[in-house]
Amino acid sequence: MTLIVQKYGGTSVANIERINAVADRVSRMRSAGNDMVVVVSAMSGETDRLLRLATEVHPNPPPRELDVLIATGEQETAALLSMALQQRGHDARSYMGHQVHILTDNVHGKARIRMIDDARVRKDLGRGRVVVVAGFQGVDEEGNITTLGRGGSDTTAVAMAAALKADECQIYTDVDGVYTADPRIVPDARRLDRITVEEMLELASLGAKVLQTRSVQFAGRYKVPLRVLSSFDEGPGTLITFEEHAMEDILISGIAYARDEAKLTVTDVPDRPGVAWTLFAEIGAANIDVDMIVQNVGADGLTDMTFTVHRADYDKALKILKKVAQALSAGDVIGDDKIVKISVVGVGMRSHAGIAATAFRALSDEGINIQMISTSEIKISVVVEEKYLELGVRALHSAFGLAGPPAAG
């Protein structure tokens, strides 16, 4: 028996027609003799709608209650899909995260999966049942409902596949695979037949939302065979591979972007041991993740410290920074939440010089000013003004020759 875990994202279950189409596909695969576990997202727009409702009753919704609320979107689609499968003659069961026992930590809104008790699912599969699981949610040790962060149903699916040692985990979405850049922004982006887990992890964590970062981490850690496919069209999709050098001949695999960034600068910080620590300790204590950091040391013993945070944390970070700047007798605090981060990703960077120069030239040719730069072995990220997002992504995409006809299946 082949065990397949499939995940259907928001647009793939957006209405009854789409849910019926999903049920048809699952039904076909079940009838062909596969064991099927199906993870579903909420209907597209539903999680946003629930989040808006919450802010209408509370400007800063309590995280525990917010999770109880936003977990309902997935409950709805799980039940509907299970009914649609029963209507097609299958024995189907829908489960919430706590019923399957997806145990997480207690960090509401971005909980991490600790363990999955697969006994119940296995028992159902043994009885020939199709198991439908509500994505995005889990339960903490005290029985509180938790959610896994936006896009978290991907992680539910990959974690289920890991726990069940599934033969394949298939992520069905509204694009037919992983592309060299977001096809919504770059019309001539190309679908990749395969991508290494390492590159996929970079693309995801740098903003390509086709897979949630944590799901790729799970796939890497447990070697889950993972494929991204379209729920609208048939096709081979993109396979995430584990070979270290599978793409050696390919220099750059893709361009990613993150819109939701903001930049903060403290000027004239005294250049002495401990200042960075003082600054970032306060930011860290407020649970704010810091991304890029740049420090420019001036000749006068004063330095400018610039760093980026998630845009949602911008106001909070600004407030903290003003306080810390004063305590350090630093100069001004300057903030800018109209910036974006664009990144070039590829394992080929390890063995090739000149990638950064090509990237910077492409941006310069378009008159785009680079505000910050950060690099790692397989990526180069730049911060630019928000208005240059599309132009910058397209310029980099074409500078590395990524456009082209669709990859052969």
Q: Between residue 278 and residue 337, which ones bind ligand ADP under the rule CB under 6 A?
A: none
Pick the closer one to Mg ion by CB: 118 or 260.
260
Stretch that binds Mg ion, among 145-153, 184-192, 269-277, 302-310 (CB under 5 A): 145-153
Q: Which residue's C-beta sits nearest to ligand ADP?
A: 9
Q: With binding defined as CB under 6 A, does residue 9 bind ligand ADP?
A: yes
Out of 84, 116, 175, 197, which residue is the one contacting ligand ADP (CB under 6 A)? 175
Instruction: Report in angstroms how near the CB of residue 284 gets to ligand ADP at its nearest.
Output: 29
Q: Between residue 219 and residue 278, which ones bind ligand ADP under the rule CB under 6 A?
A: 254
Out of 178, 195, 229, 399, which residue is the one contacting ligand ADP (CB under 6 A)? 178
Contact 134, 79 (CB under 8 A): no
Alpha-carbon distance values, 24 to 81, 85, 157, 354 (Å): 10, 8, 19, 50
Q: With binding defined as CB under 6 A, does residue 26 bind ligand ADP?
A: no
Q: Which own/partner pairs from 113-121 qualify as long-range (CB within 8 Å, at least 24 positions apart)?
A: 113/138, 113/148, 113/155, 113/156, 113/159, 113/218, 116/159, 116/160, 116/163, 118/160, 118/163, 118/164, 120/95, 121/37, 121/95, 121/160, 121/164
Q: CB under 8 Å to 7, separation ≥6 — which residues?
A: 38, 39, 40, 41, 135, 153, 154, 156, 157, 169, 170, 171, 172
By CB under 6 A, the count of residues binding ligand ADP is: 20
Residues 91 and 118: their CA atoms lie apart, in Å, by 19
Q: With binding defined as CB under 6 A, does residue 152 bind ligand ASP?
A: yes
Instruction: Report in angstroms how near the CB of residue 281 gets to ligand ADP at its nearest.
Output: 34
Out of 61, 97, 151, 392, which residue is the one contacting ligand ASP (CB under 6 A)? 151
Pick the closer one to ligand ASP by CB: 41 or 371.
41
Out of 97, 135, 151, 207, which residue is the one contacting Mg ion (CB under 5 A)? 151
* Residue 405 burial (10 A CB sphere; 0-12, 13-18, 19+): exposed
Q: With binding defined as CB under 6 A, does residue 209 bind ligand ASP?
A: no
